[in-house]
Amino acid sequence: MLLSKLLSRIIVGLGLIAHGANLLLLGSGGEPGSPPILDGSTSGLVSDPLEQALVLTAIVITFGVTAFLLALAHRSWAETGLDEVEDDVEDRRIANRWSA
């Protein structure tokens, strides 16, 4: 979905990848049901709060990037009336010049 030319599919694809990464990080956080904070009475295994902090940070960053992409998609739709990312001829010409 990220390689699509439609901005809406790119945004949805980015969201799916971000949620998948968050689930992967949360899944690696430890045994389910173990307390995240020690109260002094538990001597067993506890879940690591680092993964939870990383996921919370990733959620905030994903929200910001998604909001920015939605603003870009809205502006593109307002100016062109299309949801499609056009292939820029000038970018292709510069890329061909540098690769040769």
Q: Half-sphere exposure of residue 5, counting CA atoms within 13 Å on the CB side? A: 6
Q: Is the pTM of this model over 0.75?
A: no
What pLDDT sits at residue 41? 66
Q: What are phi and psi of 11, to 5 degrees?
A: -65, -45
Between helices 49-80 and 7-27, what is the axis angle to 10°? Answer: 180
| Token pair 């949620």 in the structure block, residue | 19
What pLDDT sits at residue 58? 92
* 4-49 pLDDT per residue, tens: 888 889 899 999 999 999 888 877 766 666 665 666 666 666 667 7
